[in-house]
Structure 1
Amino acid sequence: MRRLAGLAAALLLASCVDGPPARLPPAPVAYGTAIVVDGQPVPLDPTDPARTRIGNFTYAGGLALTSQQTSRLGGLSDLKVTPDGRLTALGDQSDLLEAQIVLDGQGRLSGLSQARITALKEVTGADLYAGGQEEYDSEGVVRLADGTLIATFEQHDRVLAFPADGGLPRAAPAPQTAYKHNKGMEAAMAAPEAGPDAYRVGLENTGQLFLCRLSTRCVPDGQVDLEGSELVGMDALPGGGRAYLFRSYSPLIGNVIRLRLTDRGGRTIDVLEIRRPLTVDNIEGVAAVAQAAGRVRFYLVSDDNFGSFEGHKTDQRTLLLAFDWTRK
């Protein structure tokens, strides 16, 4: 009772003080409802906030994403972005984030608007999350030209195709290969040059690539050199090249992220490496967006594991970083 009385007295005192009333946090919202995403700007280099370049890559802004309306804004394992800035990101607990990227007057990343989180369904209509970690561990995301959403899964290694109208998914072709537990189809990208229903997937622990089509099956499609890392994301570049995202971690060094760009023939044309003291986290997703004058904007997203890893609390964040690159 004394705690309640004290609260009432505090509220009465606050009402007598000049100035606007304190803003209350937005009320929690249900799945599928619009949410407000807060974006706290982060520098490329906390030790040198004026720094904006890593080799041929120019930092185009970065944000630490949070929301007071949901606890589900986290665990983002992959993303894709359309030329008009529509973002689709997949959380590793089968949550789908859709939003509009907001740029400032200089074209730098400044926020997200029109954001919405949706719980993905199983083919039966049940929430994937309800099936437990073996069933909901979603990793790679692809948006085909007709709006079909392709999602890849680890642990129960499979691919689901979600129709553009938001209906229930169907099982889609997945590589018929041996998977290492929790090290499966981490990377995915559309492959329109092979057909409107085509997509590629890459295995995290081996770098093996497969070309799949909804209308047929998956076939081997080469292998990317991991160079001691893990393949966690990929996307297409203009002209037939590709962007491969690799991650490694050690307690002494922390996360090391490498974005390797290759030409149509698979030759490396540039590499972006992010490690301490630069702003870095458990980055797992990449989207490449063609810009004017041959420039490419890369968006990178990190998986914060919802603030916990193997039962221990972490200081991981959900980061969205942007880099601009022009081939020299």
Structure 2
Amino acid sequence: MRLRITGALAALLGVVWALTGGASEPPAGPARFEASYTWQFGHDEFGGLSGIEVDPEGGSFVALSDRGRIFSGRIVREGNQITRISDVQTVPLRDDKGNYPPRFYPDPEGFARHPSNGRYFVSFEGFTRIWHYDPAFSIARWVREMPNFRDFAPNGGLESLAIDQRGRIYAIPEEIPDGQPGHPVYRLTGKKWEMPFRLPERGAFLPVEADFGPDGWLYLLEREFSSLRFRSRVRRFLIDGDRIVTEEPVFESGPAVHDNLEGLSVWRDGQGRIRLTMVSDDNFKFFQRTEIVEYSLP
């Protein structure tokens, strides 16, 4: 979701975040904080990153902007610390006719990479749909729609995408469209959409991205925006067929510990630990930042 921030609210947020930014309250949960890096890049369209996919070794990445642009490069580390982002390249997203849509039209949010063919899948929130691209992002191809995708609120549609090892697509809206308890999870198997289960709500957090880890668990990144500050949380779920077998907390940050984390990629590092790489959407505001954050699980 792109936050709608007016000029007056922007000024107030700038003051609040200047006073509270860099808070060091340790997160709750078993995950260990590893790194936080503020990424700056001299391009007019840089910012608004709502999705990220990291390669299995954690070196190269592809990130998605909600203005319809792809940024790719390498994450350079010394030990567990991120020291710089190198070899950055950028291309705009094309539509299904090979054209570049007008600025702000796409509003892409969910981002996932297919584990077997390397194609990238993107869900769009304003005009709800899912497209997929080859690794060069040369042209968009449609993914079969589910009829109720048109029922989502304009700013509460398909925010999260994940693809399991069998190639099944999981799509999760940010807002619950039917008033029932739990966030619905839509799954595409072959050419058939279904809603096998719902993710239980815990507090005021809303889902913003998901990813299947190499351990087979579904990881869910969530965000809460209150008191003019962001909080982030990750839960993971063990799925068996059409049901959730286990739900576990991974981490939950305090207010203003991180910026507006919206992208999530889960991989295994050289020490055998599950690593969560996340990126923040700065909403193209001067008082926010594009932050790459990493946590690990033993």
For this structure pair, what is the TM-score category when the shorter chain's length is used for normalisation? 0.7 to 0.9
CA contact (8 A) 2:93 2:137 kept: no
Residues 218 and 86 from structure 1, CA distance in 2 versus in 1: closer, same or farther, beyond 3 angstroms? Answer: farther
Instruction: Give the letter aligned to residue 186 of structure 1.
Output: E
Whichever of the two has the greater Rg, that structure is 1
Match of 2:34 among 47, 60, 66: 60
Tell me how far apart the structure 2 counterparts of residues 275 and 174 of structure 1 sit (CA, whole Å): 37
- Counterpart of 2:15 in structure 1 is none
Q: Secondary structure at the match of 2:215?
A: helix
Task: Give deviations 1:108-128, integer Å, cap 9, x for gaps.
Answer: 222221111110011122212
Query: Structure with the greater relative contact order (CA < 8 A, sep ≥ 6): 1 or 2?
Result: 2
Tell me how far apart the structure 2 counterparts of residues 238 and 118 of structure 1 sit (CA, whole Å): 28
Residues 47 and 204 from structure 1, CA distance in 2 versus in 1: closer, same or farther, beyond 3 angstroms? Answer: closer
Q: Secondary structure at the match of 1:267?
A: strand
TM-score (norm 1): 0.74
**Which ranges of 4 or more aligned residues in structure 1 deviate by more than 4 Å?**
51-55
Matched, 1:317 2:293: no
Instruction: After TM superposition, list the pairs within 5 Å mapping 1:67-146 onto structure 2.
Output: 67-68=41-42, 70-84=43-57, 85-104=59-78, 106-128=79-101, 130=102, 132-133=103-104, 135-144=105-114, 145-146=116-117
Match of 2:222 among 228, 246, 254: 246
TM-score (norm 2): 0.81
Q: Secondary structure at the match of 1:118?
A: strand
Task: Give deviations 1:209-234, integer Å, cap 9, x for gaps.
Answer: 11125x51422131112322211011
Q: Which runs of 5+ in 2 are unaligned?
A: 1-20, 177-182
Residues 258 and 166 from structure 1, CA distance in 2 versus in 1: closer, same or farther, beyond 3 angstroms? Answer: closer
Q: CA deviation at 1:201?
A: 1.0
- Counterpart of 1:29 in structure 2 is none
Q: CA deviation at 1:204?
A: 0.6
- Counterpart of 1:152 in structure 2 is 123
Tell me how far apart the structure 2 counterparts of residues 300 and 79 of structure 1 sit (CA, whole Å): 7
- Counterpart of 1:210 in structure 2 is 186
**Across the two proteins, how many residue pairs are aligned to each other?**
263
Q: Which runs of 5+ in 1 are unaligned?
A: 1-44, 308-313
Instruction: Give the letter aligned to residue 269 of structure 1.
Output: E
CA contact (8 A) 1:77 1:91 kept: yes
Q: CA deviation at 1:80?
A: 1.4
Tell me how far apart the structure 2 counterparts of residues 323 and 245 of structure 1 sit (CA, whole Å): 12
Q: What is the root-mean-square deviation in Å for CA atoms of aligned residues?
A: 2.2
Instruction: After TM superposition, list the pairs within 5 Å mapping 1:1-328 onto structure 2.
Output: 46=22, 54-68=28-42, 70-84=43-57, 85-104=59-78, 106-128=79-101, 130=102, 132-133=103-104, 135-144=105-114, 145-177=116-148, 178-193=151-166, 195=167, 198-206=168-176, 207-213=183-189, 215-227=190-202, 228-250=204-226, 252=227, 254-264=229-239, 265-276=244-255, 278=257, 280-292=258-270, 294-307=272-285, 315-326=287-298
Q: Secondary structure at the match of 2:262?
A: strand
Tell me how far apart the structure 1 counterparts of residues 51 and 147 of structure 2 sit (CA, whole Å): 23
Q: CA deviation at 1:161?
A: 1.1
Task: Give deviations 1:32-82, integer Å, cap 9, x for gaps.
Answer: xxxxxxxxxxxxx9455xx887542222211111112x1222000111111
CA contact (8 A) 1:289 1:296 kept: yes
Residues 53 and 179 from structure 1, CA distance in 2 versus in 1: closer, same or farther, beyond 3 angstroms? Answer: closer
Q: CA deviation at 1:253?
A: 5.7
Q: CA deviation at 1:174?
A: 3.0
Tell me how far apart the structure 1 counterparts of residues 216 and 259 of structure 2 sit (CA, whole Å): 29
Residues 83 and 238 from structure 1, CA distance in 2 versus in 1: closer, same or farther, beyond 3 angstroms? Answer: closer
- Counterpart of 1:19 in structure 2 is none
Tell me how far apart the structure 2 counterparts of residues 242 and 317 of structure 1 sit (CA, whole Å): 27
Q: Secondary structure at the match of 2:44?
A: coil
Tell me how far apart the structure 2 counterparts of residues 240 and 147 of structure 1 sit (CA, whole Å): 18
- Percentage identity across aligned positions? 22
Tell me how far apart the structure 1 counterparts of residues 233 and 146 of structure 2 sit (CA, whole Å): 25
Residues 241 and 72 from structure 1, CA distance in 2 versus in 1: closer, same or farther, beyond 3 angstroms? Answer: same
Q: Secondary structure at the match of 2:39?
A: strand
